[in-house]
Structure 1
Amino acid sequence: MTLNHPNFDFSEVAEGHASVDATASATPAQRSALQAQAWGAWRVLNWADCMKWLAGFALLVLFHSAHAAPPHLDLEVTLDPDTRAFNARAELTTAAGPPQLQLNPLFRVSSVTLNGVAMSVAGSTDSGRKPSPPQASAPETPQHFSMAYSGTLPALPKSDQRDASVQAALFASPEGSYLSPGAGWYPDPGVPFTYTLKLSLPTGQKGLAPGSQQRVSEIGARTVAEYEFAQPAEGVWIMAGPYEVAQQSVALDNGKIVTVRTWFHAELAGLAGGYLQDSARYIQRYSRLIGDYPFDDFSVVSSPLSHGLGMPSLTYLGRDVLRLPFIRATSLGHEVLHNWWGNGVYPEWSSGNWSEGLTTFMADYAFREDQSEPSAREMRLNWLRDLTAIAAPDETALADFKSRQHGISSVVGYSKSAMLFFMLRDEIGAAAFDKAIRLFWQGQRFKAASWKDLEAAFSLAAGRDLSRFFAQWVHRPSSAQLVLAPRRNTDSKGSFRLIQQGGVFDMLVPLRVRPASGASRDIGVRVRDWETVVDLASIHAAPDAAQVELDPELRLWRRLDPATVPPIFREIFISPRPKLFLANQALQWKVPATALAARLLDAQAREVREAELLSASALPTLVIGDANSIRRLLPRLGIGGLPDVLLQANPANPVGQRPLKGSAQAWTARAPSGRTFAFVMADSPDLLGTLQRSLPHYGRQSWLLFQDGRVIEQGAWPVPAQNLRLNAGKVVRSR
């Protein structure tokens, strides 16, 4: 999931399930590895509850059949959030499956049967032996596995633990309960499966799971909800809380009725109407564009944690996130669209995750296009500035992206992937693009699909082979880099070179030709070599051209020239090898400055002394301190003085004596050597602590002003155009 706002970076709040629940978009195989990590972590933590139960379970069951219908799982769960008591019965029917099923060691198994015959439990402290299951039935005979188990779930994570995926994947409390597939709370067959769930909760609590709500009953002092997921699913999630539920019916063009619900804590009930209306609008929008919404229900559920997760037919958002005014206009649509891309067609993980990029392009970016072309261009500029933050050797191929793990992976998996689809639409036209989207959905619905499957759908819709396009943008761990240059040893008017640096890509390069007088003209030049000579006269493009501008609307995924692109905070924040310099070495400054650096940077910074800071190192550096110590440092770094935007407007005082705005300031700068710096200074060391919450979310800005931890002004340094000036048709200089 991605939460978006033009001036606010929510990657730390909710982007990427990995920061809160690393299993939300994982395959069964990936979840098994994550489960092993999580269970190991639980044992290391020595939680008292874990010590009461078994060290691990491996329920060995033999299954046979190379080709079979998906397994079916029937779950009955009774949960008491007050005591965190959990009881469950699982019935699994399958004609094929892995040789073993695993369960989290938090749970105690009371009975296991296979085809009605009792089995022992591997790893049990009672027997210490693996079971000897009954002789397997014939391959075509369904296998029926049954298990009853119970336990006490972990408590709701404390505020300082809520970023930890292990603790946040499984918890129960009256405030809210959450069970994710990666927590190993049910026997996972290891392949996609269908399921039903009957969930019993005490009156006052309501719960749900992905899928279609079949019925809700009040039985005594308990509420029982029943859900069905009829398509092969990769996992089962449960969410529960003291919810107030509101709902609205949505009629699709073909007459299908979809039920939209909000499950909100009482203090959020007033927001339900807006979320219902916007959810319905997005469902109708994408049903018309792609194909009918693939589920019967869609729910927006409030979480006690500050996160955002997307699952089939629902999204689970923190209470603080739901209150943000822009979520309905941006991130909600992104989550609705994931029901087609990611939860309706699954990425074939071994060949890369295309779903985040396609969802970003058709939701977040499309909403910018709805606003205006300048707004859409701004998002493309943000993507390219993100790329500038990645050194060429650190760039990875799009085919290697699986999920967001850090800032660099998000630049590739979200930004580059979204730009690929933007360029593809330019390449084949909007009509063919829309046709391909519908073909892809029709052919891959509830299947795992790869980049190759996308290539096939778009090639069919375009009526031509697009293998070269996909090969260069999906599989190469590099990006295009273009330069305009004069022709060598020639007086030819209006003639220049387009040079590719770092690697050759096949691209249609947009150019804007500006004549000495009159309107400019946009042209496209196909490049396939290291160097392409462009003769404006031969293509009848403004023979009196005075200037040529390269890709003026930023329609290509390419590296901008860092010498001409002022930095943003993300260049330092996501660097894999950042440095840290503490301009004020006093202990009262050192402790909060080090803590702030740990909060801001993806990778652990290496603290350097002043001599190394002043050396010729090219690594991005974060500098933290008070105003006096940083002012003295700037000239020695070749940067000069403080930016004017940080200073109060007072013409009576010289620039060096003008007071600062706000109680803390942050800004970026690039030294003449090309080295990138981020500076953070505050009136007192205590104020550094107030920046931990807000500063990480402004990665796409170049400067910020704070008053007591609150942002009061912000901005990004402008990016100049990359152009070549001509004089009477002759190249005279470039910049």
Structure 2
Amino acid sequence: MSKSQAMHKLMIVVGLLLILLVTMQSHGAPMHHKMQVEVHPGLKMIKATVTVNFPKTTPRKLSFLIHKDLQITLTSKDDTLVLLHGPTTSAPYSEYGLALGSQDSAASFHYQGIIHDPVKQQKSDGLIDPEGAVLFGSSYWYPVFLDAPKSFDLTIQTPAEWRSLSQGQITSTEVRGNARITRFVEIYPQDEIYLVAGPLFSYETESKGGKKIQVLLRKDDPSLAQTFLSTVPAYIEEYSNLIGDYPYSSFAVVENFWETGYGMPSFTLLGPSVLRLPFILNSSLPHEVLHNWWGNSVYVDYDKGNWSEGLTTYMADYYQQEKLGKDKDYRRTVLTNYEDFVTANPERDFPLKDFKGRHNQSSQAVGYGKTMMIFHMLEKRFGKDLFLKSLQSFYKENLFTRATFAEIQTGFEKTTGQNLEVFFKQWLDQSGAPQIELNDVKVMRWLDGSYSSTYLISQTQKSIYDLQIPVVWTLENGELVKQLIQLNQASQIYSLVTKFRPTKISVDPEFNLFRKIYTEERPATLSAVFGSSDVHFYFDPSQKGVNDFIQVWQNSLEGKKHLHPVKDSFQIEKTGAIVFVGEKEAFQNFVKNELQGQNFELTHQTITVEGQKYNLSEASSVITQRLKQNSKQTLVWVRWSPDNNPAEWAQRLTHYGSFGLVIFRGRPAVLKSHWPTLNSPLQRELQKAL
């Protein structure tokens, strides 16, 4: 394509975008920012000019926030600027008051300064650095008028060897001497404006729908780039079919210079290790792609609860496991995490309407897990077709606006014709989860040869829920009979008449209901340790690497940490989680005694799990089980091969909380499993009828 043809095509695109902008007035006109930005990595500095065009309804006096270290000057005539509040230790920005001239609908500024919030524990509010630049809305790198949607025309100048990225369409990019200049145009209303730049290698392709797919890596790696270039288009097509058209012109996978897992409009910012995790392509990647619908085009009104993370988890992470037939295990893991991180520590619980974002594993268990299960219960109630139609309606009505659970409720009520006030209120306003009990199961045979079964279902928590509970009967001829009962009081008796004798009753055997899970229903997993209010480390301080491993896990745990150096013999604590760290023979003997009867064998040279033998000199292992003397206590024994880095391995293990048995050879996990579970209190093997 020639330069003149390219320019003609660009003008057509811009014209269409302007038409779209006019049609979006019903969603609220955005403040339009025309920005010229220079990024100076060696100085950690930004220089910029910006003209903000305000909608006609904007008040003549308003205020904005900007980074505390940026010196800003008003350059437009007839407008006035005054400092209202300087920065504080908790608020790293200044607040300015702006008074527009009588005829003005725009204001222009020049500002410059250093932005460099150092990365600490893999977190930063934004920085410019020789390694790269990452600026969020929370970096206040531009005048931030709160609660105002934003569109922009942004030109970024960086060193020539750098590449830059923001949301929006790239309309031009060129190298002039020692500088690279790239222009982005975004006409859709945005919650915030991002700027990411660095010495990045670029790889590109185009999806079937004409969307630009880009991968930006810090090291030249065509093979790694290709895995994303070949995978992303399928996810965009999948979610476009499920929800609605992909809302942006491109999608980019960008490597950051510290460990992140962020999803921004039209791109995801992933850390070097995260980017290379073996499961990234079918877990984090679809999650971040889907955020372009949920959170990055239908925005979240955080004051009324963050629905986006749970819905994205359900339609991305969960749906991918559903395709593999692992949906039941995923739901059980969600209930297990809630039990480990929340039920076991009630002070960490809160109503879902108060969830704003994840800051630890307990908040994730509520905000991601509980919300995910709410959407699953809606899908089970109405079926997938009506479920998706409801979300399509919600998406269409709230595109590029902030939405709440109330708008989601409206979308479902509009599509299904049902009043869902009770459903949403009980799950959003109440903390906790229902506890279900099964009692008084009786089977009677009638003279005509049929069987009548009765049973009592109770919910034992203080606040009563209105629940739809699946019940599955197994008959002596092998037939399965499914019931869906409604429980809206503390206890209720239910019945079933069948031609053949029932041999088993199972209440919610597939974990389709958000509820408290019984110990007997769940395997022993690492999450029980990570969520414990007390964790006891037993270790030989003379073994190399032990202290490094413990230090990493101590920083990852929310409960109290207790250290127990071991020389010869030891006594374990009677409460809390127990962690054996290292190769001590006393640990091996204790674990072997606890696992008698399981498919497990341990010698000084090998470990055999599930019939597979591994050499201890080559394999690192995690073995988790419940103690015989107290099934509420979890024991985990971690040990590593000589070629493993204990600190790095310890950090990776925090991603394996849903497993109890994990074996590694080098970096790859060659076994991810857990011991079989016992019978559930919600199941009964039935004797012959009376």
Q: TM-score, normalised by structure 1?
A: 0.77
Map 1:221-620; keep pairs closer than 5 Å. 221-250=178-207, 252=209, 257-371=210-324, 374-392=325-343, 393=346, 394-487=348-441, 494-502=453-461, 503-537=463-497, 541-575=498-532, 577-584=533-540, 591-592=547-548, 594-607=550-563, 616-617=574-575, 619-620=576-577
Shift of 1:195: 1.8
More strand by share: 2
For residues 557 and 536 of structure 2, what CA distance do their matches in structure 1 show?
10
Is residue 582–residue 640 contact of structure 2 (8 Å, CA) maintained in 1? no
Which has the larger displacement, 600-609 or 528-537? 600-609
Cα distance in structure 2, aligned partners of 1:189 and 1:560:
46
Structure 1 residues 530, 164: closer, same or farther in 2, change over 3 A? same
**SS of structure 2 residue aligned to 1:729:** coil
How far the C-alpha of 1:700 sits from its partner, in A, is 1.0
Note if contact 1:177-1:239 (Cα within 8 Å) is conserved in structure 2.
yes
Equivalent position SS for 1:75: strand
**Greater relative contact order, per chain length (Cα 8 Å cut-off, separation 6+):** 1
The structure-2 alpha-carbon separation of the partners of 1:629 and 1:536, relative to structure 1 and needing over 3 Å to count, comes to: same
In structure 2, the residue matched to 1:46 is: none
- Distance in 2, matches of 1:522 and 1:684, equals 49
Which deviates more from structure 2 when the two are superposed, residues 288-297 or residues 389-398? 389-398
2:66 maps to 1:106 = no
Q: Which moved more, 1:604-613 or 1:291-300?
A: 604-613
| 8 Å contact kept, 1:687–1:709 | no
**Alignment-derived partner of residue 135 in structure 2:** 179
SS of match in other structure, 1:343: coil
> C-alpha displacement at 1:443, in angstroms?
0.9
1:73 maps onto 2:33 in alignment: yes
Q: Distance in 1 between matches of 2:581 and 2:214?
A: 47
Distance in 2 (alpha carbons) for counterparts of 1:233 and 1:131: 21
Partner residue of 2:626?
670
Matched residues in 2 for 1:131 and 1:560: separation? 49
Percent identical residues:
24
Displacement of 1:69 after TM fit? 4.0
Return the offset for 1:721: 4.9
Partner of 1:60: none
Q: What is the letter of the counterpart of residue 467 of structure 1?
A: E
CA shift at 1:369, angstroms? Answer: 2.5
* Cα contact 1:86–1:152 (8 A) shared by 2: yes
Larger mean Cα displacement after TM superposition, 79-88 or 199-208: 79-88
1:54-73 paired onto structure 2 within 5 Å: 69-73=29-33
Cα deviation, residue 591, structure 1: 3.7
Secondary structure at the aligned position of 1:186 is classed as coil
SS in 2 for 1:536: strand
* 1:421 positional shift: 1.0
Do the aligned partners of 2:605 and 2:616 also contact (CA within 8 Å) in 1? no
CA RMSD of aligned residues (A): 3.7
Closer/same/farther in 2, CA of residues 500 and 285 from structure 1, 3 Å limit? same
Taking the aligned partners of 2:196 and 2:315, their CA distance within structure 1 comes to 28
Amino acid at match of 1:147: F
TM-score by length of 2: 0.82
The CA deviation at 1:616 is 4.8
Q: CA deviation at 1:543?
A: 4.7
Q: 1:558-592, CA deviations, whole angstroms, 9 ceiling, x for partnerless residues?
A: 222124533211122133x2232435466978744
Superposed displacement of residue 185, structure 1: 1.8
Q: 1:668 to 1:598 in 2, by over 3 A?
A: same
Aligned to 1:58: none
Q: CA deviation at 1:299?
A: 1.9
Cα distance change of structure 1 residues 478 and 68 upon mapping to structure 2, 3 Å threshold: closer
Asked whether 1:699 is paired with 2:653, we answer: no
Distance 1:165 1:687, change over 3 A: closer
- Pair 1:163 & 2:121 matched: yes
Structure 2 contact 549–650 (Cα < 8 Å) conserved: no
Q: State the alpha-carbon separation in 2 of the partners of residues 449 and 542 from structure 1.
A: 51
- Structure 2 equivalent of residue 53 of structure 1: none
C-alpha distance in 1 between matches for 2:640 and 2:195: 47
Aligned to 1:91: 51
For 2:528, the aligned partner's letter is E
The answer as to whether partners of 1:596 and 1:691 remain within 8 angstroms in 2 is no
**Residue identity opposite 1:106 in structure 2:** D
User: In 2, are the aligned partners of 1:170 and 1:180 still within 8 Å (CA)?
Assistant: no
CA contact (8 A) 2:435 2:460 kept: yes
Once the two structures are TM-superposed, the CA of residue 660 in structure 1 deviates from its matched residue by 8.5
- Displacement of 1:84 in angstroms is 3.6
Distance in 2, matches of 1:217 and 1:706, equals 47
Question: Which amino acid counterpart does residue 659 of structure 2 have in structure 1?
Answer: Q
1:361 maps to amino acid? Y
Which digits, 9 at most, give the CA deviation of each residue in 1:199-247, with x for residues without a partner? Answer: 0122222111111212223334322111122122222111112333333
Paired residue type of 1:496: Y
For the pair 1:146 / 2:104, whether they are aligned, the reply is no
Distance, in Å, in 1 between the alignment partners of 2:126 and 2:86 is: 25
Contact 1:201–1:207 (Cα < 8 Å) also in 2: yes
- In the TM superposition, residue 485 of structure 1 has moved relative to its aligned partner by 1.4
2:378 and 2:599 mapped to 1: Cα distance? 42
Structure 2 unaligned blocks of 5 or more? 1-26, 88-93, 446-450
Distance in 1 (CA, whole Å) between partners of 2:414 and 2:95 is: 53
C-alpha spacing 1:646/1:352, structure 2 compared with 1 (3 Å): farther
1:82/1:386 CA distance change after superposition, 3 Å: same
Does the 8 Å contact 1:479/1:557 carry over to 2? yes
2:602 to 608, 633, 647: 647
Distance 1:560 1:227 in 2: 50
Q: CA deviation at 1:453?
A: 0.9
1:458, distance to aligned residue in structure 2 (A): 0.3
Matched, 1:718 2:642: no
2:241 and 2:303 mapped to 1: Cα distance?
A: 31
Where 1:486 maps in the other structure, the secondary structure is: strand
The separation in 2 between residues aligned to 1:560 and 1:500, in whole angstroms, is 13
1:590 to 1:535, Cα distance in 2 relative to 1, 3 A: same
Residue 398 of structure 1 contacts residue 412 of structure 1 at CA under 8 Å; is this kept in 2?
Answer: yes
C-alpha distance in structure 1 between counterparts of 2:545 and 2:160, whole Å: 52
Deviations 1:85-135 (CA, angstroms, capped at 9, x unpaired)? 4321222233348843333233344x324545575767899xxxx999897
